[in-house]
Homo-oligomer: A and B are copies of this chain.
Amino acid sequence: MLGRAPYTTESDNKGPFLTARRADVAVVGGGPIGLAVAWRAASRGMRVLLHDPDPGSGAAGVAAGMLAPVAEASFGEEELTRLLLDSAARWPDFATEVAAAAGLADSAELGYRTEGTLVVGRTADDLAEARRLWSYQQGLGLPITALNATELHDREPLLAPRVRGGAHAPDDHQVDPRRLVTALRTAAETAGVVFVPSTVRGLDELDAGTVVVAAGCGAAELTGLPIRPVKGQILRLRAPGGEAPGFRHVIRGYADGRSVYLVPRHDGEVVVGATVEERGDTTVTAGGVRDLLHAATELVPELAEYELVEAVAGQRPGTPDNAPLIGPLAGHPHVVVATGHYRHGILLTPVTADLVVDLLESGVPDPVLAPFAPDRFGGHRSAPAKPGLAGPGSGRPELTEPGFADPELALPGPARAGRATSGPVREEIR
């Protein structure tokens, strides 16, 4: 590859002799996606570096951790819904494997819970809006059951009496993103991933067989892809006396036209989220907190007595169609993108990691990734004008079209042996 500087980082003086042998994979970004890719890749024998000045400090720390493909299924997003369901199906095994690799007793230590989600509406208008979505979801064959007010309050007596109805999505689970990130770091370290605490300013800084860009909103500058920050504010409440919250299900509600979710954790925490704001700052605002608290206490009045422990804002990486960008970066054959997960980063972590690592191994993107090709919006191919990257004139092949079926255009993988990549993905899609 042209013009790359020798690999030098802080790790040179204390870790393995990084300059002596080139890494197979350099992952940029230490959120759950980057950590999971790094862990999975190292577990398959690849030599992996992970670059992040502060792993886990990004959007994951502000995520609620709902694993909710059913309740999140929206009109016109069938392909995304399939990917969400695919990843949800992988979550039980993924959670078990992460926990084991991190030395935890079981996936419950990640805050992984399977009580399911209640989708509720407070006013008749709220309920009507929710019902349209349930019908759509049921039409897709998703497991969601309408509940009348009595059934709803039997399941969760703390719901406000005025909550008129709802539905139960038994397969919409949850995990604690902060625990997940901590466990993934341990798992990755144990598997041999070398953490490089530096900020990557350009992909040409990196000398590795393949670069995986899992840098969230930061991927925009590194790749030129159309990723925009979508601000989200969340709250963390805590039940009085250190007890567990008085409700067990994740509750997704519509209150006065606003959407809110309440995620109860065994340790007493309740996450209340999230605002969706088309802006790039991370300021916690009086109006954002007011709206979340208002909607939350309208649905579960008892929450008014809970301690407000934290209010925090983060940036989700959004894309023009709000679906992720996963696959080779067109024009840069040694670069794979795994970002743009918007509101679905935690849920999509297992499938993203599996498909990316399969791609690293085989060099061939799974066809299931076709709708999520990073270059599907066009016009952004040459944006990262950094020298030294493969691309036009570099003498290396580039992907000029999505072309997932053509192995000639595939990535050269550092370790092509390995399992087939397509079977489990498609079989798990309902």
Give the B-binding residues of A (Cβ under 8 A). Answer: 235, 237, 240, 283-287, 289-290, 293-294, 296-297, 303-308, 311
Residues of B within 8 A of A289 (CB): 289, 293, 308
Please state the number of chain copies in the assembly. 2
Residues of B within 8 A of A293 (CB): 286-287, 289-290, 293
Give 3 nearest A-B pairs by CB, closest first: A287-B304, A290-B293, A283-B307
CB distance from A341 to the nearest CB of B (A): 27
Are the C-beta atoms of A306 and B290 separated by less than 8 Å?
no
Whether A286 touches B290, Cβ cut-off 8 Å, given contacts A308-B311, A311-B308, is: no
Docked Cα-Cα span, A306 to B308, in Å, equals 18
Contact among B285, B286, B306 with A286 in the assembled complex (CB-CB below 8 Å): B306
Residues of B within 8 A of A307 (CB): 283-286
Most chain B CB within 10 A, of A237, A286, A287, A305, is at A286
Are the C-beta atoms of A294 and B294 separated by less than 8 Å?
yes
Whether A285 touches B311, Cβ cut-off 8 Å, given contacts A293-B293, A294-B294, is: no
**Which of chain B's residues has its CB closest to A309's CB?**
B284
Are the C-beta atoms of B294 and A308 separated by less than 8 Å?
no
Are the C-beta atoms of A297 and B287 separated by less than 8 Å?
yes
Docked Cα-Cα span, A293 to B289, in Å, equals 8
Are the C-beta atoms of B284 and A305 separated by less than 8 Å?
no
Contacts A/B (CB < 8 Å), 15 sampled: A235-B286, A284-B308, A285-B304, A285-B306, A285-B307, A285-B308, A286-B297, A286-B304, A286-B307, A287-B305, A289-B308, A290-B294, A290-B297, A294-B294, A311-B311
Residues of B within 8 A of A283 (CB): 240, 307
Residues of B within 8 A of A285 (CB): 304-308
Residues of B within 8 A of A286 (CB): 235, 237, 293, 296-297, 303-308
Residues of B within 8 A of A237 (CB): 286
Residues of B within 8 A of A297 (CB): 286-287, 290
Residues of B within 8 A of A311 (CB): 308, 311
Residues of B within 8 A of A235 (CB): 286
